[in-house]
């Protein structure tokens, strides 16, 4: 079975983050360190830039090792919350006809699947929220009243 739209979307975003992190891990530095410089017109004319403390702190928290660990964790969540793959005889297997429900979400007390389709999985939808402004994000993946902060993505 091939992954559905939301799963493919998330895997593509994870791969982009992983690629960006791997691109800077070959610097051979013992420690991840970043200084973000901001224009500073209030300083002496010869001093045109100053270290931006808060942006530097945020950039330093994006250590490539941390980003790669985050990618691994997201892939693990995707593995746990994957689409069901029907097995056995369709006559004796009640879930044979609904092979795309989320295994990670499981069943309600009444025996019904929590999600009818993997794209309805609230965990996967939550993982997709940071990418809500991405051009490939579908509005039906939004979690209703939860609106992520605006973020722009480069167009390919």
Is the pLDDT reported for residue 128 higher than 80? Answer: yes
Would the pTM count as exceeding 0.75?
no
pLDDT score at 110: 74
> Who's near 62: CB < 8 A, 6+ residues apart?
34
68-93 burial, b for 16+ CB within 10 Å, e for fewer? eeebeebeebbeebbbbeeeeeeeee
Enumerate the H helices of the chain as residue ranges.
Answer: 5-25, 53-61, 64-80, 122-128
- Greater confidence (142 vs 155) lies with 142
Summarised one tens digit per residue, pLDDT across range 113-127 is 788 788 888 899 999
Summarised one tens digit per residue, pLDDT across range 35-93 is 666 666 665 555 555 566 777 777 777 888 889 999 999 999 999 998 876 665 555 55
**3-state secondary structure (DSSP) of residue 79:** helix
Pair of tokens at residue 11: 């895997």
pLDDT score at 47: 53
Is position 55 within any domain? no
Q: How far apart are the first and last CA of the chain?
A: 28
Tell me what the pLDDT averaged over the chain comes to. Answer: 76
Confidence band, pLDDT 50/70/90 cuts, at residue 150? low
Is position 49 within any domain? no
Is position 68 within any domain? yes
Is position 150 within any domain? no
User: What value does the mean pLDDT take over residues 124-136?
Assistant: 92
Angle 56-62-66 (CA atoms, 0-180°, nearest 5)?
A: 150
Is position 80 within any domain? yes
Confidence band, pLDDT 50/70/90 cuts, at residue 24? confident
pLDDT score at 96: 46
pLDDT score at 2: 42
Is position 58 within any domain? no
Is position 92 within any domain? yes
Number of domains composing the chain: 1
Q: Check if the beta carbon of residue 36 is closer than 8 Å to that of residue 51.
A: yes
Phi-psi region of 21 (alpha: psi -120 to 50; beta: other; left: phi over 0): alpha
Domain range enclosing 101: 5-25+63-141
pLDDT score at 3: 45
- Greater confidence (13 vs 103) lies with 13
Question: Measured between alpha carbons, how far is 42 from 58 in angstroms, rounded to an integer?
Answer: 23
Is position 100 within any domain? yes
């Amino acid at each position: 079975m091939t992954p559905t739209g939301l799963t493919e979307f998330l895997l593509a975003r994870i791969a982009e983050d992983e690629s960006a992190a791997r691109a800077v891990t070959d610097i051979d530095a013992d420690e991840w360190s970043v200084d973000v410089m901001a224009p500073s017109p209030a300083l002496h004319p010869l001093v045109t830039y100053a270290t931006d403390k808060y942006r530097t702190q945020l950039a330093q928290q994006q250590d490539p090792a941390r980003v790669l660990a985050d990618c691994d964790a997201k892939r693990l969540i995707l593995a746990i919350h994957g689409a069901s793959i029907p097995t056995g005889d369709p006559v004796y297997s009640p879930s044979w006809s609904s092979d795309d429900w989320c295994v990670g979400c499981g069943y309600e007390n009444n025996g019904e699947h929590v999600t009818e389709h993997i794209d309805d999985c609230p965990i996967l939808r939550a993982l997709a929220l940071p990418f809500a402004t991405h051009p490939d994000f579908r509005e039906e993946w939004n979690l209703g009243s939860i609106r992520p902060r605006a973020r722009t993505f480069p167009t390919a």
